[in-house]
Every structure is written in C-alpha cells, then in structure tokens.
Amino acid sequence: MRDVIGTISFPTRSALAVWRAEILGQLSDGMWENTAPHDHWEFWHQLRTVVDGSKKPHVVMDEGRHVPYNQKVSYNVAGLYPIIGDRMLAFGRMGRTLSSVVDVDAPKDPGYDERHGGTKFDACVHAAEYLAEMGLEAFLAERASGKYSKPWTESYLKQVDEETARRFFSTKYTMKDLRADVKDIKAAFKTARQS
C-alpha cells in the first residue's frame, strides 16, 4: 500500500466511480502507462478519494507533502470514449445508482478481489461493466443459481444485490453525464499544481 499524501475530491459519486474504476488504471497500466515522466501515475494513486458535493473538484495535499515539480496534470481523457466509453458509462451509472445507498468507504463483502479496491462501492462499480453486458434478467438468473457464465466476474457480481441491480437498470446516465464527470476530473487534475 502506498503512503497517502493528499486528497482528490469530486462533486459526485459518478465522477468518483469513473476515477477509481477507470482513470486510475489508465494512468498506470493503460492509455498513459508510457507517458513521461514514467512515474507520473504514482502521485494520483497516492491520493485518497472523496465525494464533496459542496465544493468544486480539487486536490489538497496533506501537511508536509507536495506535488512533484514535474507532475503531469493534463490527460486526454476524452480520447478514451471511442475505446472504452461504454465501460466508463457503466461505471458512472453505478456510481450514480449508489449515490444514496452505499458509503464509498464501507467494507466489501467477503470474497471480493482485493486488487480492485477494498470497498463495497468499488466492488459494485466494477460489477457495472458486466451488469450492463448481461442485462437484468440474466444477472438475476445467474445470481439465483450461484453460477456465473464468466467466472472471473463472480467476485464483483456477488457484491451486487437484487435491489441495487434493479436500481442500476433504472438509473439514467448518458454521455452528457460522463462528459460532465470527466470535466470535473480534468478540473481536479489542474488544481494539483495549485496545492
């Protein structure tokens, strides 16, 4: 586990979901993994993430910590839309679904894959990609049987109860919403230089 050096705040849980489930991974192991400086992603991974609906997105450093002088703060997040936009939409949709039900820091249920964050919120957000592919009826049938057609999805999908799945499929989250969340993520990037 890395030392926490500061906080990145977002105004919505949907932005937080996109950040945690997609952007952090793209920074270290995806679209920007070979970007210079080559340790640019470490800074972002050392920030705790919170939702603060009363404030604009921002980064605040803990006392005695600082932003590296050469920290990259500009990424073409919109360049991901044609490649993984559907997945980002699913993550944002689940973040919105969970906005009043699951504490973003509540512990996960047993059996969840620790590599993808240790909270119930993270587990449900990662399940969203598979829920969107499956549809509600297929999910409910697999959940009832306890057998999942894609075994690697089991640790995620087991964290989603029927009520959450039903809310997910009735929650509206569009490309316009995703663009607004990405705008907030990019705004938070830029504030790192001001911390």
pLDDT at 191 over 50: yes
pLDDT of residue 95: 95
> pTM above the 0.85 mark?
yes
Domain boundaries, the chain: 6-194
Would you place residue 31 in the very low, low, confident or very high pLDDT band (cuts 50, 70, 90)?
A: confident
pLDDT of residue 72: 78
pLDDT of residue 127: 93
Residue 68 phi/psi, 5-degree rounding, is -55, 140
pLDDT in tens, 137-190: 999 999 999 999 998 888 889 889 999 999 999 999 999 999 999 999 999 988
pLDDT in tens, 41-79: 888 888 988 888 777 999 999 999 988 877 777 888 889
pLDDT of residue 135: 96
pLDDT of residue 105: 62
Please state the three-class secondary structure of the chain as a single string: CCCCCEEEEECCHHHHHHHHHHHHHHHHHCCCCCCCCCCHHHHHHCEEEEECCCCCCEEEECCCCCCCCCCCCCCCHHHHHHHHHHHHHHHHHHHHHCCCCCCCCCECCCCCCHHHCCEHHHHHHHHHHHHHHHCHHHHHHHHHHCCCCCHHHHHHHCCCCHHHHHHHHHCCCCHHHHHHHHHHHHHHHHHHHHC
pLDDT at 115 over 50: no
Segment 109-137 shows an average pLDDT of 77
pLDDT of residue 29: 73
pLDDT in tens, 89-108: 999 999 999 976 656 665 55
pLDDT of residue 1: 47
